[in-house]
Chain A
């Protein structure tokens, strides 16, 4: 977190509405990406992103130590996503749509597209654990606490999720030889 980020948060906490506009502009991509990755539904992710910012706006004044903001914010987003998934009735996973953004090269673009489709193919539990680790950067112990599952389950879900993604990438003709199989 840079000094500028800290300054924005500090101004937001004191009720500066202009600072909160900057805050929303700065953090919307991160919050939205996290929500889409967890929910696999763009419309719901948009609604959840709005809810998350609303929660931040209401509770930021209660944050006493600014240094804890990154962890506090990350936890708030994670809990919102997990709570939303708990309330939601399971439906067959929707496929990600193509983005307006194109990653650097066509090979990378294919790999990312396939990976996102593969993520949709994971079980909800595996996806949650994988995203908490890879995207949110939580330690195994923290993931176990957040999800209320034993540490061993975290490890096994993570292992199977990665194995699944690896298999999908290896079997996928579009990316075979461009990504993980490249080193062979």
Chain B
């Protein structure tokens, strides 16, 4: 083997990619040629230095924190999207069920409407027949009770972990 051929194959040889049948030829040549041996040593040294050059690159300060922050933000967004889609899917799934039972729901709605209407009428009749200050006080108290009821319902609903349930 000539030095020229040897130098062409050294790169593959140091990578362990040279076919076995050519390895022995090359090694025989290397044994007798100090110049090619030096080239082989240089190449191995170059590989080591190259890895060292890349290894000596240092990430900027705070990169890890930035990565984690962006991860959690993106995870939160993804969870929100999942929640919306799950809610839509559930609504789509329950639509046929609601349609099927719509007469029953209509009956209940009607009952609620009729009973509420009767209740309001009775209340108004009572308030009208009572003296003005008493009727005003009862009206204000009724409004306060309704406001308190709305507030309580909101508090109860706020404690329900809807996001976790949907996601």
Binding site for B on A (CB under 8 A): 20-21, 24-25, 28-29, 32-34, 36-37, 42, 46, 49-50, 53-54, 57, 96, 99-101, 103, 108-109, 111-113, 115-116, 119, 130-131, 133-135, 139-140, 155, 158-159, 162, 165-166, 169, 179-184
Contacts and interface: CB of A to CB of B under 8 A. Distances in A.
Given A139-B17, A162-B11, A119 B53 contact: yes
A162 B56 CA distance: 20
A100 B51 contact: no
A179 B49 contact: yes
A167 B51 CA distance: 18
A145 B42 CA distance: 29
A155 B38 CA distance: 21
Given A162-B43, A183-B42, A29 B53 contact: no
The 9 closest A-B pairs by CB, nearest first: A115-B53, A112-B53, A101-B58, A32-B59, A180-B42, A33-B57, A159-B11, A103-B56, A37-B54
29 contacts: A24-B64, A24-B67, A24-B71, A32-B57, A32-B63, A33-B54, A34-B54, A42-B60, A46-B66, A50-B71, A53-B71, A54-B70, A57-B75, A99-B56, A101-B56, A111-B53, A112-B49, A112-B56, A119-B53, A134-B51, A135-B51, A135-B54, A158-B11, A162-B11, A166-B42, A179-B46, A180-B42, A180-B46, A182-B45
B74 interface: yes
